[in-house]
Amino acid sequence: MKKITGILIFAFMSFLLINDDILAAGWEKSFDLSLNATQSSYSNSWVGGEAGNFTWVANGNGIFSKQLTPIFNLRNTVKLAFGETHSQDKETKKWAKPVKSTDQIDIESLGLFSIKAFIQPYVAFRFESQFMDASVTNHNRYINPMLLTESAGLARQILKKDKNEILTRLGFAFKENINRSLIQDQVDTSIYTTKTITATDGGVESVTDAKLVLSDKLGYIGKLSLFKPFFYSKKDDYKGTPEENYWKAIKVNWENSMVASVSKYVQVVFYVQWLYEKQVSLKGRLKETLAFGLTYKLL
């Protein structure tokens, strides 16, 4: 069953990215590629204790939408990112092996039923993962872990004017987390076996997407996701521990991007993400990046 799920996921991803029908006439489509990099290095004669580094990040962002029938609109969004940091040793000035700095796969398909009402029914499927799981040294796992979210509920278009758009939705969501975990051998610690662990939970999800054009050179893209679980398949594993009820806490994922276009092919992106998941950390996790680099509009 898990193998079938994996095949279906990759078939879905391939369909969104390369299917001729997606790129055919009638679809509103856009896909941007960008590459950002920063670099500094020091010679062997430098004695101040400084160390150089080189960081690069590649991004791909796309939207494919179409009114398939008079009452059904399909909107597919793709967010891909991968980057590495290369660091220089303070003493020898030699460059170490690169370390992953950014890694994201986020693909969502949202179907809206376009009825003439204050709110609209919706169905959605979201696939989240990363290209490479490097949490265990020398034992990389690709496209791991995977989070699948199926949801349905009611949506409301708060703003739809020119290129400005704010859409909020509230519904029930079912999440399946698939992790190919590595188990270390107790006798020979260099040997690992792979065990697939699946955890599911379900509850109420709220998602708000915003896209605002602040000027001809400045734009904002934001996404706020809130999830309150009502059940969790692994709750018995935490019975009698301080973490017994951590799974019940509201999970938050708030992403914000300010994009400034310097020229047709050069842009500055300021990105802030705030995550809160009590099972992972009692404190919120903050990620902040400021990138300057090249961008190319593929579609």
Determine the pLDDT at residue 3. 43
**Number of Cβ within a 10 Å radius of residue 85:** 16
Determine the pLDDT at residue 96. 85
Determine the pLDDT at residue 47. 58
Q: Whole-angstrom Cα distance, residue 197 to residue 145?
A: 10
Chain CA centroid to CA 28, Å: 22
Would the CA dihedral through 63, 69, 70, 73 be positive or negative? negative
Of 229, 228, 227, 207, the residue nearest 155 (C-alpha):
207
Q: Whole-angstrom Cα distance, residue 128 to residue 146?
A: 6
Determine the pLDDT at residue 45. 63
Determine the pLDDT at residue 6. 46
Determine the pLDDT at residue 49. 61
**Number of Cβ within a 10 Å radius of residue 57:** 22
Q: Are 210 and 203 in contact (CB under 8 A)?
A: no
Can you read off the two tokens belonging to residue 25?
A: 């006439």
Which residues are CB-contacts of 37 (< 8 A; sequence separation ≥ 6)? 54, 55, 56, 57, 293
H-helix or E-strand spanning residue 232: strand 218-232
DSSP 88: B
Determine the pLDDT at residue 24. 55
Q: What share of the chain is helix, strand, coil (3-state, %, to 5)?
A: 10, 60, 30
Which residues are CB-contacts of 139 (< 8 A; sequence separation ≥ 6)? 182, 192
Determine the pLDDT at residue 51. 72
Which residues are CB-contacts of 59 (< 8 A; sequence separation ≥ 6)? 32, 33, 34, 35, 36, 79, 80, 81
Domain segments of the chain: what residues?
29-297
pTM metric for this prediction: 0.86
Q: Whole-angstrom Cα distance, residue 7 to residue 238?
A: 32
Q: Whole-angstrom Cα distance, residue 41 to residue 96?
A: 13
Bridge partners for 154 per DSSP:
121, 170
Query: Which residue in this structure is represented by tokens 């950002």?
Result: 36
Q: Is the peptide bond before 98 cis (omega within 30 degrees of 0)?
A: no
Long-range contacts of 280-286 (CB under 8 A, 24+ apart): 284/252
Determine the pLDDT at residue 42. 62
Q: Whole-angstrom Cα distance, residue 102 to residue 277?
A: 19
Q: Whole-angstrom Cα distance, residue 110 to residue 125?
A: 7
Determine the pLDDT at residue 40. 72
Which residues are CB-contacts of 3 (< 8 A; sequence separation ≥ 6)? none
Asked if the 29-297 domain carries CATH number 2.40.230, the reply is yes
pLDDT tens-place values along the chain, 299 residues long: 444 444 444 444 444 454 445 455 678 888 999 998 877 766 666 656 667 788 999 999 999 999 999 999 999 999 999 999 988 877 777 888 888 989 999 999 999 998 888 899 999 999 999 999 988 888 889 999 999 999 999 999 999 998 899 999 999 999 999 999 998 888 887 789 999 999 999 999 999 999 999 999 999 999 999 999 999 999 999 999 999 999 999 999 999 999 999 998 999 999 999 999 999 999 999 998 888 899 988 77
Q: Whole-angstrom Cα distance, residue 55 to residue 86?
A: 6
Determine the pLDDT at residue 91. 75
Bridge partners for 164 per DSSP:
161
